[in-house]
Structure 1
Amino acid sequence: MYNSHTDIWIAGAFAAVVVDFIVYPFDTLKTRVQSPNYERVFKDPRTGAVKRNILFRGLYQGVWSVVFSTIPSSGAFFTTYEAVKYASYNSSRNPQGASPTIQTSRSTLRLPFDHSLPAPVIHAIASSSAEMVSCLMLTPAEVLKQNAQMVNTSTSPASSNTTSKHQNTNAMREVLSKFKSQPWRLWSGYTALVGRNLPFTGLQFPMFEFVRSRVIDWRRRRKTQKHILSGETRKTPSSVQRDELVERTLLTGLSAAVSGTVSSFVTTPIDVVKTRVMLSATDIPHQPEHGSKSDYRTAEERPTGKKMERPPTKGTWDIGKEIFRNEGLRGLFKGGAIRSGWTAISLSLYLSLYEGGRMFLENRRKEMEGISPGT
C-alpha cells in the first residue's frame, strides 16, 4: 500500500456517504421492526396486519445526521485500521498468513515491541481499535437517526400536503428539541454501539481479509494459467493498472458480502439491544416552556404535589434481559433477515468503493512521484 492518511480518509468518507444514501431506507425499516412499539404503532390492533402506509413512510428521516457524521467517523475508522494493521505487520517477526505485499506500505509506523501474532488476530485488534475511535463520533448521529426514524409524521394534520424533505426536517427538529436541555444524552448508547460493533468488526474483518486473500490468490493463479496457455502478449501498464483496479474492487465486494452476512446475523441480538437503548434516550420528561400553558406530559409524569422524578434509566444488560424475558429468543433476532441482507449489500458496496478509491489514489500518487504503478 502506498497511500497517505489523507488518501485513506478521502476513500473511506466517499464510500460511506454513497452507501449511506443507498441503504438508509433498509436501516430505517430495521429500526422500526426492532423498536418496542412496533406491534402498537405499525400493526393494526384488530387484524394484526402491517400498516404499510406508516411503516414505509419517511424512510429517509434522520439521514442527514448520519451523512454529516459519516465523513469524520469513516475516515477515522480506516485511518486507524490501516495504521494499526500496518504497524502490527511491521513489528511482527513472522505473522501467520501475512500478505507478501505488506512491506510495500508507505507508512513507517512501527510498534515499540516485536510480536508473532497471527494475521486474524492483527486484523481483529486493528478493526476493534478503529471501531472504538469511530463510535465516539458516530454515537450522537446514531441516537438522532434512530429516534428520527421512529417519528410518526402521518399524525401531523398537514402531513398529506408536506413533501418528503419537509417531513425529514420536521422529524429531525422534533428529535433535536428533546435533547436541547440535556445534550450529553446524545452519547447514550455508546457502550451498546461499541458492544455491537466490536464483535461485528472483530468477526467481519478477519473473515473479510481471509476470504479476500484466498479469492485474490485464486484469481491470480487462474490468470497466470490462462496467459501461459493462450500465449498472450504482455499488456500495457495502463491496461494492467485498469484491470487490477476493477478486479480488486469486485473481489473486495464479494468478500465483504460473504463476511458481512455471517457477522451481521450472529450479532443481531446485540444490535436489537443497542436499538432499544438508543430509542430510550428520548424517554425524558418534557418541561413546558416559560409562560406556556401547554403541558405535554402524560398523567403519570405530571407532579402530584411532589417533585417530578425521572424514571430509573435501564442499562444495556437490563434491557437485554427484558427483551429475552418478554419476547424470547425470537425477540433478540428481530430484524435479523433485513440486517443481514442490507449489510451484505452495503458492506459490499462500502469496502469495494473504499478499496477502489484507495487504489485509484495510490496509483495517482505513484504517477505524480514517478513510480511505476506495479511496484
Structure 2
Amino acid sequence: MSSNTNTDIWLAGAFAAFTVDLLVYPLDTLKTRLQSEDYQKLYKNVDGTSKRTLFRGLYQGVGSIILITIPSSGAFFTTYEALKSGINAAVPPNSTLYLPQPAVHAAASAGAELVSCAILTPAEVLKQNAQMLSSGKRGSTSLQVLRQFRSNPARLWRGYTALAARNLPFTGLQFPIFEYLKERFMKSRKAKKGGDPVDGIAERAWITAVSAGIAGSGSAWITTPIDVVKTRIMLAAGSGDDPVPSRPDAKSKATTLLYQGAQGARKSGFTVAREIIGKEGIRGLFRGALLRAGWTALGSGLYLGCYEGGRFYLEGRRESINEGDHVMERDWSKVKVGVGGSRSHDTVKKSAWQED
C-alpha cells in the first residue's frame, strides 16, 4: 500500500465505480421504484401483481450517475486512505491515547462520505427522478429531468442531509466490519499457504469482495429506513411536491432548521418518516430492504473487490518499475569505495604511530 499514490487510488476507485454502476444499476432502479410513494399506483395492478412497467427502463438515468460517481468515488477513497493513515500516524498503537481500529475506520469513512456526498447529491437526485420516468419517452431521461431544475438549480442539492444521514451510519457500520473480516480472511489464507503472503491480485480481490459483501448486506438492511426517507425527499425535489408544513409553535431558528431540513428542503427527514409510518406503518420504512441488502452485497463486493484488485495491480506495477530503474540496475559490485589512491594520499603525512 505504501507504493500507491493518490492517482492510483483515484483510478482504482473510478474503475470500481464504473464497473459496479453498469452491473447493478437495474437493481438500484427497482429499489427506487419500490420505495417511491407512488409505487402502488404506478407499478401495481388491481389484483396485486406487478405491472410490466416496473421492469422497463431499468437503465434510465445511468449516464448522470456514472459521470459523477467516478470523481465521487475517487474523492471517497482518497479521503478515506488519507484519514486512515493520518489518524493511525497521530495515534500510534503504543501511544497513551488508545483508539481502536474500528473507530479509526469509522471516523475515516465518515469524513470520506461527507466529501463524497457533496459531489454525488445532484447526480443522485437526477438519477432517482429519471428512474421514475415513463420508459416510453424518447431521449435522455437525465436531460428531461434536468429541465425540471432550470428555474431552481438549488433543488439538486435537496437531500444532501438525507444522503449523508444514510451513508454515514452505513459506512460507519460497513467499513469496520469489512476491515475486520478482510484481515481475518487474509490471515487465514496466509496460514493455509504456509506463511507466504497473499500477493495474487485475483485472490486479494476475491477476499475483499466476500468481506465487503457480508459487511454491506447487513449494514444496508439496518439503514433501509433512512434510505427510504432519502428516496422520498429526492423524488419530491424533482416533482416540486414539497409544501412547507405548518408549524405554528416553531419559534427558534434551530427548531425551524430541524423541522424543515437543510439545503432548502421543505420537509425534514423526521417529517417524511412520520408520514410514512402514519400511512404505511413501520413496514413502510423497510420497503425494499431485502432487495437493497441483496444488491448491496453484490454491489459492495464488486465495488471494493474491483478497487482492491485495481489498487494492488497499480501498486505492483509501480514497484516493478522502481525495481527496474536504470540506477538500480548498475553493477555496484565493481565500484570500490574508500580503496585506492587519491591526491590526499600524497599530501597527508602518516601519524607517528603509523610509521612503525
**TM-score for the superposition, normalised by structure 1:** 0.77
Segments of 5+ residues of structure 2 without an aligned counterpart are 242-264, 326-356
Q: Find the aligned partners of 1:150 and 1:367 in 2 and give their Cα distance.
A: 49
- In structure 2, relative to structure 1, the CA distance for the partners of 1:182 and 1:120 (3 Å cut) is same
Residue number in structure 2 paired with 1:47: 47
Q: Shift in Å at residue 371 of structure 1? A: 7.9
Cα distance in 2, alignment partners of residues 8 and 220 from structure 1: 25
Matches within 5 A, 1:217-366: 217-224=187-194, 244-284=200-240, 313-366=266-319
- Where structure 1 has 5 or more consecutive residues not aligned to the other structure, the ranges are 96-112, 157-165, 228-239, 286-311
Whether the 8 Å CA contact 1:91–1:115 is kept in 2: the answer is: no
Structure 2 Cα separation of the partners of residues 122 and 151 of structure 1: 42
Q: Following the alignment from structure 1 to structure 2, what is the Cα–Cα distance between the partners of residues 63 and 358?
A: 25
State the Cα deviation string for residues 100-129 of structure 1 (Å, max 9, x = none): xxxxxxxxxxxxx98421100000000000
Letter in 2 for 1:182: N
Equivalent position amino acid for 1:50 in 2: S
* Cα shift at 1:203: 0.1
Q: Hey, what's the Cα distance between the residues in 2 that align with 1:82 and 1:173? A: 35
What does 1:190-201 correspond to in 2, within 5 Å?
190-201=160-171
Alignment partner of 1:60: what SS?
Answer: coil
Cα deviation for residue 24 of structure 1 reads 0.3
Structure 2 matches for 1:84-103, cutoff 5 A?
Answer: 84-94=83-93
In the TM superposition, residue 244 of structure 1 has moved relative to its aligned partner by 2.3
Does the 8 A contact of 1:255 with 1:348 survive in 2?
A: yes
Q: Which residue of structure 2 lines up, in the alignment, with residue 367 of structure 1?
A: 320
> How many pairs were matched up?
301
Q: Measure the CA separation in 1 of the matches of 2:318 and 2:16.
A: 19
Alignment TM-score, normalising by the size of structure 2: 0.81
1:200 alignment partner AA: F
Cα offsets for 1:274-331 (capped at 9, x unmatched): 000100002338xxxxxxxxxxxxxxxxxxxxxxxxxx92211100111111111110
Residue matched to 1:162: none
| In 2, Cα distance between equivalents of 1:93 and 1:61 | 47
Q: Does 1:132 align with 2:121?
A: no
Percent identity, aligned pairs only, is 52
Residue of structure 2 equivalent to 1:178: 148
SS in 2 for 1:36: coil
User: Does the Cα contact within 8 Å between 2:228 and 2:285 map onto a contact in 1?
Assistant: yes
Q: Residue 189 of structure 1: which of 159, 168, 171 is its match?
A: 159
Find out whether 1:29 has 2:11 as its counterpart.
Answer: no
Asked if 2 retains the 8 angstrom alpha-carbon contact of 1:91 and 1:114, the reply is no
Q: Is the 2:125–2:238 Cα contact (8 Å) retained in structure 1?
A: no
Amino acid at match of 2:16: A
Letter in 2 for 1:9: W
Q: 1:205 aligns with which of 136, 157, 175?
A: 175
* Aligned partner of residue 58 in structure 2, secondary structure: coil
- Report the RMSD for the aligned CA atoms in angstroms: 2.0
CA–CA distance in 2 between the matches of 1:85 and 1:261? 23
What per-residue deviation string (whole Å, max 9, x for no partner) do you get for residues 184-216 of structure 1? 100000000000000000000000000110111
Larger Rg: 2
> 1:247-268: per-residue Cα shift (whole Å, max 9, x none)?
1111001101110111000000
Cα distance in 2, alignment partners of residues 76 and 93 from structure 1 = 25
**1:93 CA displacement:** 2.8
Q: Is the 8 A contact 2:80 2:108 kept in 1?
A: yes
What's the offset of the Cα at 1:3? 0.4
